[in-house]
Amino acid sequence: MFRSHRFLSLMLSAALLFQAVPARAEEEKTSETGFFLDTVITITLYGDKDSTAMDGCFALLDQYEQMLSRTVEGSDVWNINHSNGEPTEVSEETAWLIETALYYSELSDGAFDITITPLVELWDVQNKASLVTGDETAEEAYASGLIPSEEEIETALLHIDYTAVSCEGTTVTLSDPEAEIDLGGIAKGYIADCLEDYLLSQGIESALINLGGNVQTVGTKPDGSSWKIGIQKPFGGSSDIITVVECTGESVVTSGTYERYFEIDGTIYHHILDPNTGYPADNGLVSVTILADSSTVCDALSTTCFVLGLEDGMELIESIDSVEALFITEDEVMYRTSGFPEN
Ligand code: AMP
Ligand code: MG
């Protein structure tokens, strides 16, 4: 069954990045797909007899989209971005998420930066991916605006600086009135954590939450064995798995170029942007997968490490306890941190 209040047609076209294979208790399994926060969402539950938990999950997804989406008028993020530098009151959850995002900005010296919005809008990767025919030359792509000009990038960069965001309690202020925030690099992780908490509170002990590449496992499979989460081969199909990670309650989150991109003349322009250069991060990586208990941590760090690149990303993850990473390079070589499972 599919649930969404928009973009129903995208359900079939978007490939799910991860797979998991339930072992038994098929009769108790329910699975539903929807489209929230520009992402195909699939929730699989075991033991949700009267669908209360499933309904609750989709109600929460709707609630968080209304709170955290940059494009939903009246959301906390929309209000901040339209505040003209005036203090904005937000929910405790939004405030916490912004503070957490700022922590990862500090940690990465700005590689992760929620004031990325002017660049997100300029590159507009998701929209352009549907406009590009594949026949454009680079010259034509510059002329038509598919690839932004140096001047446009320089102008956007003027307003990208996470230190312009301050959060006091539930009051958020942008010291640069032209700055705008985007929680796309961390919100899905937070929502996955909230869904896990909700499901556990409902007595669901076995579930799989897939928010377009953000996978949160709840408990174990119904037979008590671990979930096996497949990590997609870059640019492969959703069933083309490069490795498998076993989980019992952890989260596995991937940031990859192949998730959202367009290609001009053999060059890939993707959605993970480098706040230093203004261009899609271009460091030889195609994906970074993070394994940790918290999906918020996974989400923030997958984007962060993608921008940092293999060497600095590896060093960062090795410095954090209970977080592991898998980096995949353009030539499909896999680099694991010391605790990332081999198989
Ligand atoms: P993810 O798929 O979690 O890696 O997040 C990518 C999304 O995060 C993009 O679609 C943007 O909305 C946003 N984003 C892109 N670059 C950055 C960055 N350097 N720091 C924070 N968020 C970013
Ligand atoms: Mg992320």
Average pLDDT of the segment spanning 274-279: 98
Sign of CA dihedral 307, 311, 315, 317: positive
- Give the global pTM: 0.92
Query: Which of 102, 116, 183 best tests ligand 1's pocket when mutated (most atoms within 8 Å of CB)?
Result: 116
Average pLDDT of the segment spanning 177-191: 97
DSSP one-letter string for 222-275:
TTSPPEEEEEEPTTS-TT-EEEEEEESS-EEEEEEGGGSEEEETTEEEES-B-T
Residues near ligand 1 (Cβ within 6 A): 112-114, 116, 120, 182, 184-185, 255, 271-273, 275, 299, 302-303, 307
Angle at 36 between CA 12 and CA 183, to 5 degrees: 130
Tokens representing 226 are: 């671990």
Centre of ligand 2 from the C-alpha of residue 38, in Å: 14
Please state, in angstroms and rounded to a whole number, the distance separating the CA atoms of residues 258 and 239.
14
DSSP one-letter string for 96-113:
HHHHHHHHHHHHTTTSS-
What letter represents residue 331's amino acid? D
Tens digits of per-residue pLDDT, 221-233? 999 999 999 998 9
Tens digits of per-residue pLDDT, 321-331? 999 999 999 99
pLDDT bin (cut points 50, 70, 90) of residue 213 is: confident
List the single range of 21-25, 168-172, 246-250 with lowest mean pLDDT. Answer: 21-25
Does 44 score more than 50 pLDDT?
yes
Q: Are strands 324-329 and 334-336 parallel, antiparallel or unpaired?
A: antiparallel
Q: 27 φ, ψ to 5°?
A: -65, -25
Centre of ligand 2 from the C-alpha of residue 214, in Å: 8
What letter represents residue 257's amino acid? T
Does 256 score more than 80 pLDDT?
yes
Count of CA atoms in the C-beta half-sphere (13 A) of 334: 18
pLDDT at 2: 55
Please state, in angstroms and rounded to a whole number, the distance separating the CA atoms of residues 114 and 141.
27
